[in-house]
Amino acid sequence: MTLADVVRLLEAEVLVAPADESIKVAAGGAADLISDVLAFVAKKNTLLITGLTNPQVVTTADLLDLTGIIFVRGKKPGQDVLKMAQQRGLPLLRTHLHMYEACGILYKAGLRSSRADQDDDNDFD
């Protein structure tokens, strides 16, 4: 799956565009707690699905080398967050869908979980 596929599937708006729309999204994870994100993301090319829009979510994504973030329920972060993401080359999307719906659509389309015990070929090494 690519980021362009995510945009299409979730009817998303691109807030910060990726350098390359064909960038691979190999796994997904959803959380509204930063420590949960730090605990569960064990895959490369992970997309974070969240309702958090504060600067720390960008810092977290940067530290974990996430592929991008999609904000649910139409949430839009402030200019400071958009600027941080631009500076870090981190794609940001938003969808009007709720987290449960966004997760369900992506899972049904084949996007795997970012859990460490699934699809081990894609683990960090």
Partner 1 sequence: MTSTNSYDLSLPVKGRCFVTAGQAASKIKRTLETFNLPPKLVRCAAICAYEAEMNIVTHACRGQVGLRVTEKAIRIVAEDEGPGIQDVDLAMKEGYSTASQEIREMGFGAGMGLPNIKRCADELIIDTYPNKGTRVEIIIHLQTNGG
Greatest Cα pair distance, the chain, in angstroms, is 37
List 17, 38, 76, 104, residue binding partner 1 (CB under 8 A): 38
CB distance 11 to 95 below 8 Å: yes
Q: Does 55 bind partner 1 (CB under 8 A)?
A: yes
Stretch that binds partner 1, among 11-19, 20-28, 36-44, 69-77 (CB under 8 A): 36-44
For residue 1, give every residue at least 6 positions away whose Cβ sits within 8 Å of its Cβ, in sequence order, or none.
24, 25, 26, 106, 109, 110, 111
> Interacting stretch for partner 1, rule CB under 8 A, among 2-10, 21-29, 30-38, 94-102?
30-38
- DSSP letter for 83, please: H
Residues that bind partner 1 (CB under 8 A): 32-36, 38-39, 52, 54-57, 59-60, 62-65, 124-125
